[in-house]
Amino acid sequence: MRYILLVLVICFYACDVNTDGCTDVYAYNYDVSATYDDGSCLYIACEDPNAVNYNELHAFFQTNCQYLADVTFYLDVSGATYFYNLGVQFLDVYVEGTYVGTLLGDLGFSFIPPCDPPDPDAVNFYYEWQANSAMSSTSFTWTVRDGSDGFIYYQGTDLISANDCLTLGLSNKKIQEYLNSK
C-alpha cells in the first residue's frame, strides 16, 4: 500500500511539469506546447514594408509604424534676388513650429539640390512620423521667417511619402503669391 501511494505521489509531481514559453496565440513566437507564459512573447510592430520598423519584433503589442523621409529647402535665384533687394540676410526655416535650419538670403540655386548627398547651402533634414496603420505618407507645415525680425515670408503645407526626397524651393513667385494672399 505504501508503495502504491509513493508511486502516485511521484507521478503527481512528475506529471505536473510546466512548460515555459509564450502562450499568446497572437504573438509571433507563440508556443503551442507552452503551459506557463514566461513573458517571452514577441509581436510584430509594423507590417508596412515602407516603414523603418517593418517586421521589427517587440516585447509588447504595438501597431505603430515609423516612417522617415528626406527634405531639402532651398532658395532659387529669383527668391534670392528678392531677399537681396530687401536686405534680408538670413531666412530661418521651421517645420511644425520647430527650427530646422537657416538659408542665406542672397544665395539662390539655379538647380534643384539633391537630398543625397545634402548640399551644405540648403537646409536638409529627416522628417519622421508614426502612424497606427499603414500610412506611408503624411502632410507637414513649414514656415520661412526673416532671421532678424521673424517676419513670415512663406508658410505652406506639403505632402511627403516615406523613403522619398522632397525638395521645396522658395521662389519670388511663391513668396509674392503668399504675401498677396495675406
What structural domains and CATH numbers belong to the chain?
2-65 (no CATH), 66-181 (2.60.40)
pLDDT tens digit at each of 182 positions of the chain: 555 544 545 555 555 578 899 998 888 889 999 999 998 888 877 888 888 888 877 777 766 888 999 999 999 999 999 999 999 999 999 999 999 999 999 999 999 999 999 999 999 999 999 887 667 899 999 999 999 999 999 999 999 999 999 999 999 999 999 999 98
| CA distance linking residue 178 with residue 142, whole number of Å | 13
Q: Which three cell numbers stand for residue 115?
A: 537630398
Decide if 85 contacts 108 (C-beta within 8 A): no
| CA distance linking residue 167 with residue 182, whole number of Å | 25
* Model confidence, pTM: 0.75
